[in-house]
Amino acid sequence: MHGIVHVELQKYVIARHGRPVWLDLLKQAGIGNKAYLVSQQYPDTDIVALVTAASAMTKTTVPAVLEDFGEFIVPDLLDMYRPLLKPEWRTLELLEHTEGTIHSVVRLRNAGAAPPQLQCRRVGPSEVHLRYNSARKMCAVARGIVRGVARHFEESVTIVESACMHRGAPACKISVKRAAQSSSRLAS
């Protein structure tokens, strides 16, 4: 997996709990003293071990940790890939273009990176349906990223996951609805 995810997880844990907790988590996850770099690729197993240890330490479920982490990473993701984003996009438009414009470029630029297949269908002016499919089964990160993107654009969204790979579905189905007041605020 792209080192940005590992570097961001480190940043996330330090921001929420402090550096000593990060060092402790590395130890608990059996990783030792590793310094992650954005320019490298690292095993998915590091993320799984770290998030599992963080979940046990904070007595928070793994999906809740992943979702909070997903929300946390959005500002840095948007900063890193800013040239790919159109100024007129808001939450739903960014989601619509993630697969074709963002994840596809991530795949091209980073040989080892494999962002999830994310199909997005605009089903109305205020709603998109996402279909998430990845062997990593990190739909919680996807929900968190949606929340973070909405926060970035100061929009309010409702997120409903109606099918999930963790419940045996072939893919996760996530609907994202933008609240009416978000669009009126945008229009004003």
First to last CA, the chain: 41
Determine the interface stretch with ligand HEM among 27-35, 51-59, 132-140, 160-168 (rule: CB under 6 A): 132-140
Please report whether residue 169 would count as binding ligand HEM according to CB under 6 A: no
Nearest approach in angstroms of CB 140 to ligand HEM is 8
Rounded to 5°, the CA angle 109-111-115 comes to 80
Residue 100, C-beta contacts closer than 8 angstroms, at least 6 positions apart: none
* Residue 176: CA count within 13 A, CB half-sphere: 29
Please report whether residue 138 would count as binding ligand HEM according to CB under 6 A: yes
Please report whether residue 141 would count as binding ligand HEM according to CB under 6 A: yes
Size of the site for ligand HEM (CB under 6 A): 26
* Residues making contact with ligand HEM (CB under 6 A): 1-2, 4-5, 77-78, 81, 95, 98, 102-103, 106, 113-116, 118, 130, 134, 136, 138, 141-142, 145-146, 149
